[in-house]
Amino acid sequence: MSFNLLEDARRTDTPGIKPMRIPERLEPLVEEGLIDHVICQLMSGKEATIYIVHCGEEVRCAKVYKDSNKRNFQHRACCAEARKIKNNRRTREEAWQGIEVDMLCKLATDGIRVPKFYNFFAGVLLMELITDAQGNVAPRLSDMQLTPEQAREYYKNLIGQTVRMLYTGVVHGDLSPYNVLIGERGPVIIDLPQAVNATDHYRARHIIKRDIDHLTAYFSRFAPELARSDYADEIWSYCQYGKLQAPANAFVH
Ligand SMILES: Nc1ncnc2c1ncn2[C@@H]1O[C@H](COP(=O)(O)OP(=O)(O)OP(=O)(O)O)[C@@H](O)[C@H]1O
Ligand SMILES: [Mg+2]
């Protein structure tokens, strides 16, 4: 999404820019002083609704996780059983949201390009709003038309970041052109609640292969020769034999 008013929105006194009414789920953050205004809703995905917000002088991104009733868990029950299910759900949800927070912090420290984490409060994640060179909201990779050169460059970058993630013990688990933004300085990886630990997850090998296959299929639409690459097995065998200390781009020929 292109959002040309972003620069104006940084200045709250701009005529014609009126912050939207505060959505209920963001009220606790306003009361806490973590958010000043809500500029607009950016997106409503399967798992969360994303808002652009003002925090003091800065424009940030607020990810409001949907509650479980609006997501996957359809089971209905009554009385004690319902209470038990509700508590279990809450525990599962908190764990799931906690994974995204942990991943944003851990991966940033390990040099992987993810949005900068600012806060997590009342089921809302406050993070860096990824923007492009013009200061507009960064497009998703899936919404872009690429030249073959761009496709090769972004593919190389993302395979490198995937190797780096694996080296730190993490597999994204839902890496696709929908979960990569093209920011001012290149690809930024988002949407991490389903990330898995590469060392103890029995399906990690299968999951990383699926992630890499999604990227390969997407980029080979723009640069057909990329379809012949087979990084998943190569990367995994290096990982198994403890050879992943090699520089990330060693895997990109
Ligand atoms: N930090 C960010 N900066 C800019 N845009 C963002 C940011 N985080 C998310 N978005 C936008 O919001 C969309 C949804 O975010 P995200 O993928 O984290 O949530 P989701 O509910 O899992 O969505 P989906 O079901 O579509 O995968 C992204 O595809 C992207 O367009
Ligand atoms: Mg997503």
Number of domains in the chain: 2
- Domain boundary at 73, 101, 128, which? 128
pLDDT of residue 46: 84
**Ordered alpha helix ranges (H), the chain:** 6-9, 27-31, 79-109, 148-167, 204-219, 231-240
- Is any atom of ligand 1 closer than 6 Å to the C-beta of 178? yes
CB 48 within 8 A of CB 124: no
190: containing domain: 141-251
pLDDT of residue 69: 54
**Cα distance between residue 213 and residue 141, in whole Å:** 15
106 plus 64 within the same structural domain: yes
Longest dimension (CA), the chain: 61
DSSP 249: G
- Per residue in 45-57, pLDDT (tens digit) is 888 999 999 999 9
87 plus 171 within the same structural domain: no
Whether the predicted pLDDT of 167 surpasses 90: no
CB 166 within 8 A of CB 198: yes
- Is any atom of ligand 1 closer than 6 Å to the C-beta of 162? no
Residues listed for the chain: 253
221 plus 119 within the same structural domain: no
- Domain boundary at 76, 101, 128, which? 128
Q: Which helix (H) or strand (E) holds 65?
A: strand 58-65
Residue 107 counted as domain residue:
yes
CB 198 within 8 A of CB 125: no
- Is any atom of ligand 1 closer than 6 Å to the C-beta of 125? no
> pTM of the full predicted structure?
0.85
Listed in sequence order, the residues at least 6 apart from 173 whose beta carbon sits closer than 8 Å to its beta carbon are: 194, 195, 196, 207, 211
- Per residue in 126-163, pLDDT (tens digit) is 999 999 999 999 999 999 999 999 999 999 999 999 99
pLDDT of residue 94: 75
Mean pLDDT of 10-26: 71
152 plus 227 within the same structural domain: yes
pLDDT of residue 233: 79
Q: How far is the CA of 57 from the centre of ligand 1 (A)?
A: 23
Residue 56 counted as domain residue:
yes
Q: Which two tokens stand for residue 55?
A: 């925090």
Protein residue whose Cα sits closest to atom 31 of ligand 1: 140
First to last CA, the chain: 33
- Per residue in 175-228, pLDDT (tens digit) is 999 999 999 999 999 999 999 988 866 788 889 999 999 999 999 999 999 999
Closest ligand (CA of 137): 1
Q: How many helical (H) and strand (E) elements, i.e. helices and strands, does the chain have? A: 6, 9
Helices 148-167 + 231-240 axis angle, to 10: 20
As residues whose CB is below 5 A from the ion ligand 2, the structure lists: 179, 191
CB 148 within 8 A of CB 222: yes
115 plus 151 within the same structural domain: no
Residue 135 counted as domain residue:
no
